[in-house]
Homo-oligomer: A and B are copies of this chain.
């Protein structure tokens, strides 16, 4: 039996002057910071806040990421940042990210985070309550 699919977590930002380079477009490392902001909003939507998790002793570190650039965002553009959960392993969280300007997909990518213990920074299992809360954001990869 397949349960109902979840929905990605979406929020919008506006491109800052500080993020634009001399080609007059968002400098590419900022997209990785955008992905990080999407993760923050994902944990806000799922748990009430990223710090709910860290205060409970669990944090995440980025293990791998992959980005494809299709178009360029410009100063003051409104961008829609979207993140959905592709897969949860014992301790890893694979997510899919998209950055859109209206209908146009500018950048897409994935992040694989690993859950760690906040004290030791050693790998640990995803807490059950975090896993459950993230289920609502699992997206169809079909």
The reply to whether B65 and A66 contact each other, CB–CB distance below 8 Å, is yes
Chain-B contact segment, one of A68-76, A80-88, A91-99, A133-141: A68-76
Decide if the interface of chain A is mainly helix, strand, loop or mixed: mixed
* B18:A20 contact, CB within 8 angstroms: no
- Report the minimal beta-carbon distance from A69 to chain B, rounded to whole angstroms: 6
Number of interface residues of A (CB under 8 A): 34
| CA gap between A50 and B22 in the complex, in Å | 13
A57 within 8 Å of B (CB atoms): no
Q: Residues on A close to B: CB < 8 A?
A: 16-18, 20-24, 27-33, 36-37, 40, 49-51, 59, 61-69, 72, 75-76
